[in-house]
């Protein structure tokens, strides 16, 4: 009986194995069919691919990427693609890498404004293919590593950028490295801030003005600047800040007035340390030249922290520091010991650490004086410096600290008044579209706030009418025009900018871009009208003593 059961069990086992083998065979045949390479579909000719890329770009899209610049939120990207492999925070924008998608996504205020693609499809296209299909680009330039960049305006508000290795004799027709479809970061999100659409043109222009005040007490003129002209920021000089209590009384009165306004004020001062120290009652910190000789980045960070603490103690929220000029000309009459030295690496490292120290105290840092004031022979306070340097020359020295600071999170860049005839023979840097928009915005990808140095310096006032100078500064790409002296100059500038918008010389969209950047910065630092009661001068000076260079 047992043997019979065993035989039956064995027969069933054999049948089951045969059935399984048949099923596996059928399954494998199915799988084989599925994994067999499909008949290859030939990709379009390169010129057809170019046309297709332009067609997508005109809609704000990139081939094989399901997002639209200016209309997609970064959360949608996360939902579809997950977290990025790497994230870079550059000034006011964030870039996230997705290697598996061959794409990089740039976003600001949660809105995607830049999509870059390095897909194999794109890398089948050559320089001549693009030129054959679309002809000459709207803008042709080179980036800091020598790549050729062709920029085409496409659709109503998009740019398509082709990034290609520089053509050479051995390779005159290089293959495309990557493409980028971009919409303006500010315009992409301005619709997300309803308050901008409700602002009057005068209110918008007011936000773009940074001006000085007269005297040491709260005056009717200062009140007009805040409540009637609605300026965005006020700068204070030594003549305004003669006494500790008087200074806090002045700032508290201004803040009280500002409570009635839609936006808090930038309250700024040149507190660099060394000989350029505006705040009253404080012991002097070492000069940047002395700090440069020490060459200790951690010490520079501590200096930055202390500068931020001094600013907070008095109620200021913006420091026009640090100086990132390389003091390459020992006869330079304006920079000197304000610079960390003539070594570009030291200037970059120490300047960036000072900037970060200031920022760590929730104080806005303004890096200056772009594109570099260290090799000028005259003081721009007195006359217009002329510097016979090409862009290539600047890239080897002057521009390096600024480019690195932008990569490390600079919020504001101040532009100097320097005429560079080899780059722009008509306008000084503070009014030059080539220097501000082409170099600082496009090449360095800086999308933070750009502001002029004081437009009432002789470098400008002796050569330009202040109203037209302000207009040219805005057209060049500045977000803020600094007019430090004389109320009449402020009114001339504001009226001239308003007229230029009404006449169509400057678009409302261009004004909106700047207002967005300004308001975004104020929001980032949570500026408030909190009043200061007392300033502990003894504690601040004791900290300076501890920071003295032994």
Among this protein's residues, is 373 annotated catalytic?
no
The parent domain of residue 174 ranges over 46-190
* Residue 40 located in a structural domain: no
Same domain, 181 and 260: no
> For 275-290, what is each residue's pLDDT tens digit?
999 999 999 999 999 9
Boundary-marking domain end, from 157, 190, 223: 190
Report how far apart, in Å, the C-alpha atoms of 449 and of each of 388, 403, 484, 506 are: 27, 15, 18, 18
Short-list 207, 213, 219, 187, CA closest to 262: 207
Same domain, 155 and 223: no
Relative to beta strand 233-236, strand 209-212 is parallel
Short-list 410, 408, 404, 371, CA closest to 521: 410
Same domain, 432 and 356: yes
Report how far apart, in Å, the C-alpha atoms of 199 and of each of 20, 189, 479, 495, 519 are: 76, 16, 17, 17, 12
Boundary-marking domain end, from 127, 155, 190: 190
On whether the CB atoms of residues 43 and 129 are closer than 8 A, the answer is: no
* Residue 202 located in a structural domain: no
Say which of 337, 424, 453, 454 is annotated catalytic: 453
- Which range has highest mean pLDDT (9-13, 142-146, 303-307)? 303-307
How many other C-beta atoms lie within 10 A of the C-beta of residue 221? 13
Same domain, 116 and 264: no
Report how far apart, in Å, the C-alpha atoms of 15 and of each of 8, 20, 275, 434 are: 11, 9, 97, 83
Q: What is the pTM of this model?
A: 0.73
Same domain, 362 and 249: yes
d(CA 191, CA 305): 36
Confidence at residue 44, expressed as pLDDT on a 0 to 100 scale: 56
Please, what sign has the CA dihedral across residues 453, 454, 457, 460? positive
* Residue 13 located in a structural domain: no
* Average pLDDT along the chain: 88
Confidence at residue 379, expressed as pLDDT on a 0 to 100 scale: 72
| Half-sphere exposure in the Cβ direction for 204 (13 Å, CA) | 24
On whether the CB atoms of residues 236 and 212 are closer than 8 A, the answer is: yes
* Residue 30 located in a structural domain: no
Q: Report the CATH number at residue 229.
A: 3.20.20.300
Confidence at residue 230, expressed as pLDDT on a 0 to 100 scale: 96
* Residue 21 located in a structural domain: no
Confidence at residue 452, expressed as pLDDT on a 0 to 100 scale: 98
Residue 395, C-beta contacts closer than 8 angstroms, at least 6 positions apart = 144
> For 238-291, what is each residue's pLDDT tens digit?
999 999 999 999 999 999 999 989 999 999 999 999 999 999 999 999 999 999
Same domain, 335 and 387: yes
* Per-residue tokens: 315: 């109620």
Same domain, 222 and 181: no
**Strand partners of residue 256:** none
Among this protein's residues, is 462 annotated catalytic?
no
Same domain, 301 and 159: no
Confidence at residue 403, expressed as pLDDT on a 0 to 100 scale: 95
Boundary-marking domain end, from 126, 160, 190: 190
Same domain, 178 and 250: no
* Residue 19 located in a structural domain: no
Say which of 97, 343, 381, 433 is annotated catalytic: 381
d(CA 325, CA 418): 13
Report how far apart, in Å, the C-alpha atoms of 21 and of each of 24, 36, 138, 294, 398 are: 5, 22, 66, 79, 75
d(CA 28, CA 357): 65
The count of domains in the chain is: 2
* Residue 139 located in a structural domain: yes
Same domain, 186 and 269: no
Same domain, 185 and 244: no
> For 315-345, what is each residue's pLDDT tens digit?
999 999 999 999 988 777 788 899 999 999 9
Same domain, 322 and 407: yes
Confidence at residue 36, expressed as pLDDT on a 0 to 100 scale: 42
Q: Label residue 93 by pLDDT band (50, 70, 90).
A: low
> For 197-243, what is each residue's pLDDT tens digit?
789 999 999 999 999 999 999 999 999 999 999 999 999 999 999 99
> For 374-408, what is each residue's pLDDT tens digit?
878 777 787 888 999 999 999 999 999 999 999 99
* Residue 429 located in a structural domain: yes
Q: Give the torsion through C-alpha atoms of 340, 344, 348, 354, to 10 deg.
A: 0
Look at the chain and count its residues: 550
How many other C-beta atoms lie within 10 A of the C-beta of residue 333? 14
């Amino acid at each position: 009986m047992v043997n019979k059961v065993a035989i039956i069990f064995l027969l069933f086992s054999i049948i089951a194995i045969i059935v399984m083998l048949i099923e596996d065979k059928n399954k494998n045949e199915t799988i084989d069919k599925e994994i067999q390479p499909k008949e290859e579909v030939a990709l379009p000719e390169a010129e057809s691919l170019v046309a297709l890329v332009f067609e997508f770009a005109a809609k704000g899209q990139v081939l094989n990427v399901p997002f639209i610049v200016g209309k997609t939120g970064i959360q949608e990207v996360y939902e579809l693609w997950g977290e990025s492999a790497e994230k870079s925070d550059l000034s006011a924008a964030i870039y996230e890498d997705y290697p598996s998608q061959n794409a990089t996504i740039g976003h600001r205020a949660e809105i995607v404004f830049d999509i870059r693609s390095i897909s194999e499809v794109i890398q089948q296209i050559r320089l001549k293919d693009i030129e054959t299909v679309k002809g000459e680009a709207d803008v042709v330039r080179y980036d800091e590593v020598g790549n050729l960049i062709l920029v085409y305006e496409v659709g109503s508000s998009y740019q398509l950028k082709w990034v290609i290795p520089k053509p050479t004799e051995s390779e005159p027709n290089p293959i495309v490295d990557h493409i980028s479809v971009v919409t303006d970061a500010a315009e992409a999100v301005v619709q997300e801030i309803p308050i901008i659409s409700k602002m009057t043109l005068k209110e918008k222009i007011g936000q773009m003005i940074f001006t000085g005040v007269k005297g040491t007490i709260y005056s009717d003129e200062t009140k007009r600047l805040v409540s009637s002209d609605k300026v965005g920021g006020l700068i204070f000089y030594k003549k305004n800040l003669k006494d500790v209590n008087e200074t806090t009384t002045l700032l508290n009165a201004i803040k009280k007035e500002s409570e009635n306004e839609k936006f808090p004020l930038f309250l700024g001062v040149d507190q660099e340390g060394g000989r350029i120290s505006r705040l009253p009652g404080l012991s002097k910190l070492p000069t940047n030249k002395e700090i440069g000789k020490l060459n200790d980045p951690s010490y520079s960070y501590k200096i930055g922290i202390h500068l931020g603490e001094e600013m907070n103690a008095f109620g200021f929220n913006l420091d026009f520091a640090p100086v990132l000029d390389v003091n390459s000309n020992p006869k330079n009459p304006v920079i000197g010991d304000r610079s960390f030295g003539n070594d570009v690496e030291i200037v970059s490292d120490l300047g960036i650490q000072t900037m970060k120290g200031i920022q760590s105290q929730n104080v806005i840092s303004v890096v200056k004086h772009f594109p570099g004031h260290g090799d000028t022979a005259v003081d721009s306070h007195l006359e217009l410096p002329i510097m016979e340097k090409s862009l290539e020359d600047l890239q080897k020295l002057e521009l390096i600290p600024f480019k690195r600071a932008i990569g490390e999170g600079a919020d504001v860049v101040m532009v100097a008044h320097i005429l560079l005839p080899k780059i722009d023979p008509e306008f000084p840097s503070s009014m030059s579209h080539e220097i501000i928009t082409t170099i600082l915005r496009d090449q360095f990808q800086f999308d933070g706030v750009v502001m002029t140095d004081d437009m009432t310096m002789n470098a400008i006032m002796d050569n330009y009418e202040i109203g037209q100078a302000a207009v040219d500064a805005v057209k060049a790409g500045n977000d803020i025009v600094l007019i430090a002296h004389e109320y009449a100059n402020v009114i001339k500038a504001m009226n001239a900018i308003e007229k230029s918008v009404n006449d169509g010389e400057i678009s409302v969209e261009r004004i909106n871009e700047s207002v967005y950047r300004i308001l975004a910065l104020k929001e980032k630092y949570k500026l408030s009208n909190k009043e200061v009661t007392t300033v502990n001068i003894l504690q601040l000076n004791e900290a300076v003593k501890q920071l003295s260079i032994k």
